[in-house]
């Protein structure tokens, strides 16, 4: 994740006393083509179903200290009963080499539709979570994260 | 090889000539923990979420297991659960009479492996050495760092202080320019910490694993375009002696989590 | 065997929703990253995680290179009866590991 990229973007602005610099983390393997578009990956998950915004909340730090390990929580509004529950949650990225982040399968016995994990973000981007409900409807939510580059990297 | 953005360091160097806050008084000493984002602090705080605890669990197993047939395990001398070593990590580096020099915690463990347990000492940065060191240091979590008042350590501490303050590398920077004079400001997007070794070995998100203080110091030296000292070198032990005195009385945090 | 840390309460009241946290020691090498010699390191990730209670699947996850090293997953379960959970991680290079943990409900 930390290899030097020729297209690293830099913004450098002076402040009193100490220069402020913001170095945005470059895309991992920016020269590699993406394996699949985000749209294609989402369609593989949801088929041709309509995906409505709502019911899905992401907990993602807006400013990421290191893209190698980013805490992510996803919560879906659902009573999680046998008649009305979340079947699957698919999480997708825009700018990693591969669009899938994680897919989880839930049962009504979970009690809550609430999961957490840690993900990699190769660059500043939007993360989208899509929930498939037991009635066959799909709902989505998203969150943006700014990924910065650590100042002192391994030599 | 990857390098930090040179422009960032060059700007810092220009700024440094006007700064000069000097050494940090004990009451003003702050762990880098305080400057991390809430999410990263939460990872460190919860032992069931802190990935550094995976290595601590490895260390507990190594602690209990004899390294060779007929050789004693760490637990045979120091107690099964390691709590007999409470406070020990907070006192290192310490004077080692046998080798007539200061010795840090990981070298003490390597020495024990070699001289008392008849084993090949684990290599620097090896998973085994990091795991054992993390397990031992965890026993001192929450204890204030308390460098020994041993005059034999004075020379090494003074050498460490000189290394900390002296400019090195192609950019002409020093440890002190960042961590004494500019802590709390930003280098790139990252907050500059005071640079206290309170949590080693620690889980650095950048490393995606556990690493030692010497690995971190080597990262810093590479950032300053200096040739890093070798693992286990007297220069590193001297720096560790000074850093411990400079950090006291902050509490031990091992295994800490840092960006 | 890779080190795992599994955290759940030892006991729970019937009907209580408990949180289960799992952590596995694994590099999750992405397959997109060059090694020291400049060549791409081969992918080595965990691709599937399953939690079962008394043999019945209660939670499953498909993992990708976008999962952080030392994968961490938390999920919930409504306490019904006492029994045993199994946790299975499977992945590249034949990685296949199962751990268990018990809970007393009542």
- CATH assignment of the domain containing C61: 2.60.40.10
Using a CB-CB cut-off of 8 Å, the residues of chain C touching B57 are 3, 5
Angle at B72 between CA B69 and CA B76, to 5 degrees: 140
Task: Decide: B223 and A155 in contact? Cβ < 8 Å.
Answer: yes
Q: Which two tokens stand for residue C22?
A: 């799992």
Confirm or reject contact between B188 and chain A (CB < 8 A).
Answer: yes
Q: Contact B208/A69, CB-based, under 8 Å?
A: yes
Q: How far apart are CA A153 and CA A10, in angstroms?
A: 16
pLDDT, average across residues A137-150 = 92
In a domain, B132, yes or no: yes
Q: What is the mean pLDDT of chain B?
A: 93
State which residues form the domain around C81: 4-105
Using a CB-CB cut-off of 8 Å, the residues of chain B touching C9 are none
Percent of chain A with pLDDT over 70: 75
Q: Contact B54/C7, CB-based, under 8 Å?
A: no
pLDDT band at B188 (very low <50, low <70, confident <90, very high): confident
Tokens 């002696």, located at residue: B241
> Of the given ranges (A32-36, C50-54, C66-70, C98-102), which has the lowest mean pLDDT?
A32-36
pLDDT band at A32 (very low <50, low <70, confident <90, very high): low
Sign of CA dihedral C28, C33, C37, C43: positive
CA dihedral A41, A45, A49, A50 (to 10 degrees): -60
In a domain, B1, yes or no: no
- The verdict on B165 and B40 lying in the same domain is yes
* Tally of helices (H runs) and strands (E runs) in chain B: 10, 7
Q: Contact B54/C25, CB-based, under 8 Å?
A: yes
Q: What is the CATH number of the domain that holds B182?
A: 1.10.760.10
In a domain, B175, yes or no: yes
Q: How far apart are CA C40 and CA A29, in angstroms?
A: 10
Q: Considering B138, B159, B192, which residue would you say is the last residue of a domain?
A: B138
Q: Contact B53/C23, CB-based, under 8 Å?
A: yes
- The verdict on B85 and B20 lying in the same domain is no
B178 is catalytic: no
Q: In 3-state terms, what secondary structure has residue C50?
A: strand
pLDDT band at C58 (very low <50, low <70, confident <90, very high): very high
- The verdict on B92 and B124 lying in the same domain is yes
In a domain, B145, yes or no: no
Q: Inform me whether the pLDDT recorded for A67 exceeds 80.
A: yes
Q: Which two tokens stand for residue C17?
A: 């929703």
Q: For chain C, how many structural domains are there in total?
A: 1
Q: Considering B89, B106, B138, which residue would you say is the last residue of a domain?
A: B138
Task: Specify the pLDDT at position A148.
Answer: 83
Q: How far apart are CA B5 and CA A126, in angstroms?
A: 25
In a domain, B193, yes or no: yes
- The verdict on B97 and B172 lying in the same domain is no
**Of residues A114 and A18, more confidently modeled:** A114
User: Which pTM value belongs to this model?
Assistant: 0.90
Confirm or reject contact between A148 and chain C (CB < 8 A).
Answer: no
Q: For chain B, how many structural domains are there in total?
A: 2
Task: Decide: C13 and C79 in contact? Cβ < 8 Å.
Answer: yes
- The verdict on B167 and B236 lying in the same domain is yes
> Of the given ranges (B75-84, B209-218, C97-106), which has the lowest mean pLDDT?
B75-84
Task: Decide: B73 and B65 in contact? Cβ < 8 Å.
Answer: yes
Task: Specify the pLDDT at position C15.
Answer: 97
DSSP state of B221: H
- The verdict on B225 and B112 lying in the same domain is no
Question: Phi first, then psi: what are they for C48, rounded to 5°?
Answer: -145, 140
Using a CB-CB cut-off of 8 Å, the residues of chain B touching A148 are 188-190
Q: Inform me whether the pLDDT recorded for A18 exceeds 90.
A: no
Q: Considering B105, B138, B171, which residue would you say is the last residue of a domain?
A: B138
- The verdict on B160 and B218 lying in the same domain is yes
- The verdict on B18 and B101 lying in the same domain is no
Domain architecture of chain A: domains with CATH: 29-147 (2.60.40.2470)
Q: Inform me whether the pLDDT recorded for B167 exceeds 50.
A: yes
Using a CB-CB cut-off of 8 Å, the residues of chain A touching C64 are 98, 100-102
State which residues form the domain around B117: 52-138
**Of residues A106 and A8, more confidently modeled:** A106
Q: Which two tokens stand for residue B206?
A: 């950048």
Let me know if A48 is exposed, middle or buried by CB neighbors in 10 A (0-12, 13-18, 19+).
Answer: exposed
In a domain, B25, yes or no: yes
Q: Contact B48/C23, CB-based, under 8 Å?
A: yes
- The verdict on B180 and B65 lying in the same domain is no
Q: What ipTM did this prediction achieve?
A: 0.96
Q: Which helix (H) or strand (E) holds B111?
A: helix B105-115
Query: From the list B36, B185, B188, which residue is nearest A149 (CB)?
Result: B188
- The verdict on B129 and B76 lying in the same domain is yes
In a domain, B143, yes or no: no
Task: Decide: B122 and B52 in contact? Cβ < 8 Å.
Answer: no
Q: Inform me whether the pLDDT recorded for B16 exceeds 90.
A: no
Q: Inform me whether the pLDDT recorded for A85 exceeds 70.
A: yes
């Amino acid at each position: 994740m930390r290899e030097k990229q020729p297209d690293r973007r830099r913004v450098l602005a002076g402040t009193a006393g100490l220069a402020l610099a913001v170095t945005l983390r470059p895309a991992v393997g920016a020269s590699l083509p993406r394996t699949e578009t985000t749209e294609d990956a989402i369609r593989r998950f949801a088929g041709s179903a309509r995906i409505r915004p709502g019911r899905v909340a992401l907990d993602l730090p807006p400013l990421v200290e290191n893209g190698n390990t980013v805490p992510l929580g996803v919560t879906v509004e659902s009573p999680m009963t046998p008649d009305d529950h979340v079947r699957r949650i698919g999480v997708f990225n825009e700018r990693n080499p591969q669009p899938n982040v994680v897919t989880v399968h839930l049962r009504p016995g979970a009690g809550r539709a609430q999961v957490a994990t840690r993900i990699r973000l190769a660059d500043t981007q939007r993360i989208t979570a899509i929930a498939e409900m037991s009635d066959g409807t799909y709902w989505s939510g998203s969150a943006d994260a700014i990924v910065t580059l650590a100042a002192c990297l391994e030599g | 090889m990857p390098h930090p953005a040179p422009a960032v360091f060059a700007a810092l160097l220009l700024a440094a000539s006007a700064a000069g806050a000097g050494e940090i008084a004990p009451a003003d000493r702050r762990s880098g923990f305080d400057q991390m984002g809430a999410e990263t602090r939460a990872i460190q705080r919860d032992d069931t979420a802190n990935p550094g605890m995976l290595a601590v669990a490895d260390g507990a197993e190594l602690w209990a297991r004899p390294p060779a047939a007929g050789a004693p395990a760490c637990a045979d001398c120091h107690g099964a659960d390691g709590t007999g070593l409470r406070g020990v990590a907070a006192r290192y580096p310490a004077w080692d009479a046998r080798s007539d020099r200061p010795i840090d915690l990981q070298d003490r463990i390597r020495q024990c492996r070699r001289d008392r347990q008849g084993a090949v000492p684990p290599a620097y940065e090896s998973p085994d050495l990091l795991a054992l060191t993390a397990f031992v240091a965890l026993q001192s979590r929450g204890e204030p760092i308390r460098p020994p008042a041993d005059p034999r350590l004075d020379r090494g501490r003074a050498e460490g202080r000189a290394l900390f303050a002296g400019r090195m590398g192609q950019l002409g920077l020093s440890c002190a320019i960042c961590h004494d004079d500019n802590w709390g400001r930003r280098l790139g997007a990252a907050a500059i910490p005071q640079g206290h070794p309170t949590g080693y070995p620690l889980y650095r998100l950048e490393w995606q694993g556990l690493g030692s203080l010497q690995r971190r110091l080597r990262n810093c030296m590479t950032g300053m375009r200096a040739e890093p000292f070798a693992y286990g070198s007297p220069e590193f032990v001297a720096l560790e002696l000074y850093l411990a005195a400079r950090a006291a009385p902050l509490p031990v945090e091992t295994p800490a989590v840092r960006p | 065997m890779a080190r795992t840390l599994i955290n759940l309460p030892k006991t729970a009241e019937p009907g209580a929703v408990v949180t289960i946290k799992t952590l596995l020691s694994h590099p999750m090498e992405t397959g997109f990253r060059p090694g020291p010699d400049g060549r791409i390191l081969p992918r080595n990730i965990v691709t599937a995680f399953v939690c079962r209670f008394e043999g019945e699947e209660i939670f499953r996850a498909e993992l990708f290179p976008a999962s952080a090293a030392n994968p961490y997953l938390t999920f919930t379960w409504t306490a019904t009866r006492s029994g045993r959970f199994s946790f299975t991680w499977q992945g590249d290079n034949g990685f296949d590991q199962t751990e268990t943990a018990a809970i007393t409900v009542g």
